Amino acid sequence: MASKKQIKTAIVSNEQAIPINNLKPVHTAKMVHAKVLHSWKQNIQLGGETMEFVLVDENGHKIHATCKKTYIESKGSLLPVGAWRYIRNFHVRPAGGAYRTTNHAYKIVFNPNTNVTRSNFMNDELYLNLVDFQLILSGTLDEKLLIDVLGQVLDCGDVETIQCSGGYQRKKLEFILRDINNEESQEDNNKQVNHPGKRGQRDKWLIFPSKTIQEMIASTQVSIHQMFILHHDTGVSKIMILDKVANGIVPESPLKLLNGSWDELEDPSLIPDAITDLIGKSFTFGVYVEKDNVSYGAEIFKVGKVYKDRMICLT
């Protein structure tokens, strides 16, 4: 004789699951077959503690689901991330809020009659809907919808604790993400990511675009934020590096190099070895484009950062 659990599983398996994209408020006794992509607890001032989920069906359609504190132990605990489940007898309500986890017009709300049972179906699909970097930067995306993006972490700060409304504390982590289609080599990028002692030290230069010398000279925009990474080895330009910045490539101080004299050297043989040793080496510079460069054609550009091997920070 089949056990009660076996009979229940057989009945559920024979029911027809409704596709998530077809869910509407009229569906209260229907069943969905879904994978749990994400889950988290949240506390809001009026609604109290809830457990939230992002569910996806086999066709990749996603929907937000919410479970009140009353049902977290009996229902929420049956929905671990990565598991496939049959969920039936739930409410379907309009989705809203400033940050929506899916683009579905509705969300699933668990109630006392909601039933969660196991599914034998398994897969490793992440069901990502990746958004192109250029589309993100275009500013045309709906700011209320959370998106999926794939990139390389270049600069990661420390985890910060911030105070939220209602007296709750949350953790915040800021980092810079680079498009994996960027022209920089993967090897050089890995050196930057794995560079010791960099975690928590934000490098503002990494957020600026990479340009060639010719593009730098042709710059027509001036602002306090007009900065970029100079990486290309074609073209000629004059740059000015202050001693604090130059320490990364020249180990000796200007005072020692010039031997107390500020006169321009006319005899190449008198140039210190610390300077001539730089010939043939490649560096990447973080460069400021100032008003004198754009408006008055000044040929000397000020350097604010120096990198070796493209993205290995020296200063």
Could you write out the three-class secondary structure of the chain?
A: CCCHHHHHHHHHHHCCCCCHHHCCCCCCCCEEEEEEEEEEEEEECCCEEEEEEEEECCCCCEEEEEEEHHHHCCCHHHCCCCCEEEEECCEEEECCCCCECCCCCEEEECCCCCEEEECCCCCCCCCCCECCHHHHHCCCCCCCECCECCEEEEEECCCEEEECHHHCEEEECCEEEEECCCCCCHHHHHHHHCCCCCCCCCCHHHHCCEECHHHHHCCCCCCCCCEEEECCCCCCCEEEECHHHHCCCCCCCHHHHHCCCCCCCCCHHHCCHHHHCCCCCCEEEEEECCHHHHHCCCCEEEEEEEEECCCEECC
pLDDT band at 87 (very low <50, low <70, confident <90, very high): very high
pLDDT mean across residues, the chain: 75
pLDDT band at 270 (very low <50, low <70, confident <90, very high): confident
pLDDT on residue 6: 39
Q: What is the mean pLDDT of residues 125-150?
A: 88
Domains and CATH numbers, the chain: 4-118 (2.40.50.140), 207-313 (2.40.50)
More confident residue, 232 or 286: 286
Claim: this prediction has a pTM higher than 0.75: no
Lowest mean pLDDT among 14-23, 36-45, 76-85, 177-186: 177-186
pLDDT in tens, 178-202: 887 754 333 344 434 344 444 445 5
